[in-house]
């Protein structure tokens, strides 16, 4: 039986964290330890305004593709890189990044939908060995897991946010009411809906009143638009604009 490697344990740990705060508190130290880094960090670009203002200024320069060839490499290739790949000598690198604890730098991309959404980076000081190709390969694997994790967690967060702000609840309408909504979207009048569903026209009117209250809408157009924005893919609306804006009485 093969033993689980430290890298695989790191993959499993990434999969277990629930949010970006846990990612930094629980995973970032493990990444730093794995690469024997002096410093390590994870940055998501859309969260830079939340960072301390002084650190924000430093990051804007440090992650700038104009000033930093490591950042430029990440932006152009979406692949891990260390400073030796993009500079001719340590002396050149110290002119770009003079910090003594950033003598050696390695960074990798966090990618979503083809876009660079964040960076994970590690640094070592002058007394420590430089990052090598094996480090880059391992960071590439870590970045793949971080990218999948970030995309999954953010998608779930977006779904929760939309459900909180969406007045429609999937359990609000009965199957019969959904049938009525589909026929409304097809342009049927109340009388036409009644004939098709074998119910009275008054039953259709009363059903529409209940549906309007449940969905907190005041017209057929609002109802169709709200249902179309949910998992219920209503048919293409065939009503004229004037008919669609009418209330339950048609």
pLDDT tens, 205-220?
999 999 888 888 888 8
Question: Helices 133-165 and 6-16 sit at what angle, rounded to 10 degrees?
Answer: 10
Q: May I ask the CATH architecture of the domain 175-244?
A: Orthogonal Bundle (1.10)
Please state whether the predicted TM-score (pTM) of the whole model is above 0.95: no
pLDDT above 90 (res 57): no
- What are the residue ranges spanned by the domains of the chain? 6-165, 175-244
Residue 241's pLDDT is what?
42
Higher pLDDT, 71 or 33: 33
Out of 3.30.450.40, 3.30.70.1290, 1.20.1250.20, 3.20.20.70, the CATH code matching 6-165 is 3.30.450.40
80 exposure class (CB count in 10 Å sphere: 0-12, 13-18, 19+): buried
CB 108, CB 28: distance < 8 Å = no
Same fold, 6-165 and 175-244: no
pLDDT tens per residue, range 63-90: 667 778 888 899 899 999 999 998 887 7
Pairing of strands 81-82, 115-124: unpaired
What pLDDT was estimated at residue 130? 94
Closest CA to 149 of 126, 187, 120, 192: 120
Residue 205: is it exposed, middle or buried by C-beta count within 10 angstroms (0-12/13-18/19+)? middle
Q: Which helix (H) or strand (E) holds 136?
A: helix 133-165
Q: Mean pLDDT score of the chain, rounded to an integer?
A: 81
């Amino acid at each position: 039986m093969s033993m689980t490697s430290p890298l695989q344990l790191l993959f499993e740990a990434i999969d277990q964290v629930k949010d970006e705060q846990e990612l930094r508190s629980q995973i970032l130290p493990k990444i730093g330890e794995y690469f024997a880094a002096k410093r390590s960090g994870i940055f998501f670009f859309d969260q830079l305004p939340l960072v301390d203002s002084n650190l924000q200024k430093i990051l804007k320069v440090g992650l700038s593709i104009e000033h930093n060839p490591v950042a430029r490499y990440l932006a152009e290739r979406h692949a891990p890189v260390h400073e030796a790949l993009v500079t001719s000598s340590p002396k050149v690198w110290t002119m770009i990044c003079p910090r003594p604890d950033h003598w050696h730098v390695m960074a990798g991309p966090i990618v979503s939908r083809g876009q660079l959404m964040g960076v994970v980076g590690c640094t070592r000081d002058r007394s420590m060995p430089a990052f090598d190709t094996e480090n880059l390969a391992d960071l590439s694997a870590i970045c793949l897991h971080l990218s999948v994790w970030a995309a999954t967690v953010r998608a779930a967060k977006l779904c929760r946010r939309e459900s909180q702000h969406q007045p429609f609840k999937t359990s609000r309408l009965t199957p019969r009411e959904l049938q009525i909504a589909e026929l409304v979207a097809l342009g049927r009048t109340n009388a036409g809906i009644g004939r098709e569903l074998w119910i009275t026209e008054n039953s259709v009117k009363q059903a529409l009143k209940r549906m309007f209250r449940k969905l907190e809408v005041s017209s057929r157009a609002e109802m169709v638009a709200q249902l179309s924005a949910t998992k219920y893919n209503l048919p293409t609306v065939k009503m004229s604009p004037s008919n669609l804006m009418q209330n339950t009485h048609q």
